[in-house]
């Protein structure tokens, strides 16, 4: 009995709607994070994420484990983002959304960067798969919540400034800002990445980008 030819329309879905050849095997980057008081769950996260990758027929290109607490800076997460920027991974897998993002705004910013790079994102616990149309629709909802969060923060900042003015407090950039700018520019001239400059000087990457223009 002759073999049936595969339909030309039967193509494997790509990351964020981009078509890829069916023979392409996704290279996955695993990110596992726990608090300093809950380190025993790292093996659980890693095992579940690796099993998922095997089920999808993908391959593991990078695995990152990070220990921290609260909304602290996720420094090792940058390794995965750098790998994505170098096109070394095709999809990022996490155990839960709060393992990846410090806030809704931070989560959305990183997801938008991954989308721009053509890299997928999967959160296992929430069954959120941004390589699918339904998952991308969920990302749109996250954008709404992120804007809501930013509005609340802006209102709090304005209220704080008004309160400070009413109490006669002087507002404006501290005198050390110029010194910090000099350090940023010096490290930039030395070829240090913006993310590393922010980490060394303990300032936000947005501040670094603003200083460097």
Binning pLDDT at 50, 70 and 90, where does residue 181 land?
Answer: confident
* Residue 107 resides in a domain: yes
Confidence of residue 46 (pLDDT cuts 50, 70, 90): very high
User: Could you tell me which of 94, 98, 96, 95 has the C-alpha nearest to residue 80?
Assistant: 94
Inside any domain, residue 2 = no
Give the model confidence (pLDDT) of 69-83 as tens digits. 655 568 889 999 999
Do the beta carbons of residue 201 and residue 184 sit within 8 Å?
Answer: yes
Pick from 102, 105, 124: which is nearest to 28 by CA?
Answer: 124
> Global pTM?
0.55
The answer to the question of residue 21 being in a domain is yes
List active site positions: 35
| Number of structural domains found in the chain | 2
- β-strand partners of 22: none
- Token pair for 16: 């964020």
What is the span of the domain harbouring residue 207?
Answer: 176-212
Q: Write the CB contacts of 110 (distance below 8 Å, at least 6 apart in sequence).
A: 77, 81, 100, 101
Whole-number Å distance between alpha carbons of 38 and 23: 40
pLDDT, one tens digit per residue, over 140-149 is: 666 665 565 5
**Is 162 part of a structural domain of the chain?**
no
């Amino acid at each position: 009995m002759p073999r049936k030819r595969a339909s030309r329309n039967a193509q494997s879905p790509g990351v964020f709607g981009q078509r890829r050849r069916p023979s392409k095997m996704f290279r996955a980057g695993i990110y596992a994070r726990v608090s300093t008081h809950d380190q025993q769950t790292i093996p659980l996260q890693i095992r579940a994420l690796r099993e998922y990758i095997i089920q999808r027929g993908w391959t593991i290109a990078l695995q990152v484990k990070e220990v921290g607490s609260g909304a602290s800076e996720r420094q090792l997460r940058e390794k995965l983002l750098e790998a994505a920027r170098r096109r070394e991974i095709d999809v990022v897998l996490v155990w839960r959304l709060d393992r990846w993002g410090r806030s809704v705004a931070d989560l959305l910013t990183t997801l938008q960067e991954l989308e721009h790079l053509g890299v997928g994102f999967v959160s296992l616990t929430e069954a959120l798969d941004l390589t699918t149309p339904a998952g991308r629709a969920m990302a749109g909802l996250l954008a709404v919540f992120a804007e809501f969060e930013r509005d609340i923060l802006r209102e709090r900042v304005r209220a704080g400034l008004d309160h400070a003015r009413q109490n006669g407090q002087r507002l404006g950039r501290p005198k050390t800002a110029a010194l910090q700018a000099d350090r940023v520019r010096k490290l930039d001239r030395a070829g240090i990445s913006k993310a590393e400059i922010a980490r060394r000087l303990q300032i936000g990457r947005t501040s670094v980008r603003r200083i460097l223009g």
